[in-house]
Structure 1
C-alpha cells in the first residue's frame, strides 16, 4: 500500500536522488535505453541552477529509513526567448524534467507535481507556462491536455531524432 504523497521544494542535498529518479523513469520509458551523458549533465545543471525551482514528490515510508522517499520530479524556471537561447521572456514559466517513479505511473503523482509547479509559478508572478514533450509519450500528452495545456503546433526533433511537441497554457485562474 502506498503512503501519503507530498510535493515540496527540493534541497540542494536532494538533487542527486532527484536525478536518480529522473534517469530511472526515462530509461524505463525508453525500454532500457540510457540517456546520453551530455543530456544527464544538462539536466543536473538545470536542477541546480540559481532561480530554478525543483519540486519533488515524496512518499511517506518509501525511503530505506522509513521516511519520505522521492517518487517524482518537476522543474520550473524562467522561460527564455528563442527556445532557450534568447533573453528571458517576462511572465513565461518553462517546465521541464517531469518524471515519476515507474511503479507509481498512473497514480496521479505527475498531476500533483504539475499542480504544484503551476501554483508556485503563479505565486512567483508567471502568467503562462510552456513545455516540450515527446510526441509518442501518450501518458504525458494526456496529462498535459487534462491540465489545460494545449499544443501550439510547434515541433522539433531532439538529439535522438525523436519528435517533440510544444504545449502552453495560461496560469491565470480564468
Structure 2
C-alpha cells in the first residue's frame, strides 16, 4: 500500500493528469483495448466543465501530483442524460483508480466523499451506470448502498450497462 491518501477537488491544471489515470485504468481493465478518441474527448470535456465536481484521490509521495483516482459528480438529467435537469439528482461517473491501487479502498473513499459533497449541495439521491461485467465496481456500489434499478442499456461497444440508484439521506 502507498502513502497517505487524500481526497479533494481537482484544480483546472490537474484535469489532464486525471484523464490519464482514467484512461490507464480502463486500458488495464479492458485487457489493453484503448478507449475511442471520442470517449476520451467527451470525458475531458465533462471533467473540465463548469459546475462539474471532479474529485481526485492523491497519494503522498507518488510521482507527479500523486493522482491515484478520479470521480465526477454532475447534476443528473432526465431521459438518461438527454433531458432537462432532474432536481435533487446527483449523477456519478468517471470513477477510476490506478490499477496498482485496486482493492485498497481508493474508489470507496472517492464515492463516499462525492456523496458527502452531494449532501452539502442538497442533492437527495444519486445514480450511476456501470458495466455489468465489472464485478469489482458492482460489489463496491452495492456495499455503499446503491441498488440496481433494473434499467439496462447497451454502450457503444455493444456491452451491457446496469443502472444503480440510492438516496442521500444524512443518516447513511
Shorter-chain TM range is over 0.9
Contact 2:129 2:164 in 1 (8 A): yes
**Superposed displacement of residue 19, structure 1:** 0.3
- Matched residue of 1:78: which SS? strand
TM-score of the superposition, structure 1-length normalised? 0.97
Tell me how many residue pairs correspond in the alignment.
Answer: 171
Is it true that 1:27 corresponds to 2:27 in the alignment?
yes
Give the match for residue 86 of structure 1: 83
Deviation track 1:73-100 (CA, whole Å, cap 9, x = no partner) reads 0000000000001000000000000000
Is it true that 1:52 corresponds to 2:49 in the alignment?
no
**Superposed displacement of residue 63, structure 1:** 1.7
Contact 2:56 2:69 in 1 (8 A): yes
Give the match for residue 157 of structure 2: 160
**Superposed displacement of residue 38, structure 1:** 0.4
Give the match for residue 128 of structure 1: 125
Is it true that 1:172 corresponds to 2:164 in the alignment?
no
Measure, in 2, the Cα distance between the counterparts of 1:166 and 1:148. Answer: 13
Structure 1 unaligned residues grouped into runs of 5+? none
CA RMSD of aligned residues (A): 0.8
Measure, in 2, the Cα distance between the counterparts of 1:42 and 1:164. Answer: 18
Which portions of structure 1, spanning 4 or more consecutive aligned residues, are displaced by more than 3 angstroms? Answer: none
**Superposed displacement of residue 173, structure 1:** 2.5
Contact 2:55 2:71 in 1 (8 A): yes
Structure 2 unaligned residues grouped into runs of 5+? none
- Matched residue of 1:145: which SS? helix
Give the match for residue 142 of structure 2: 145
- Matched residue of 1:47: which SS? helix
- Matched residue of 1:35: which SS? coil
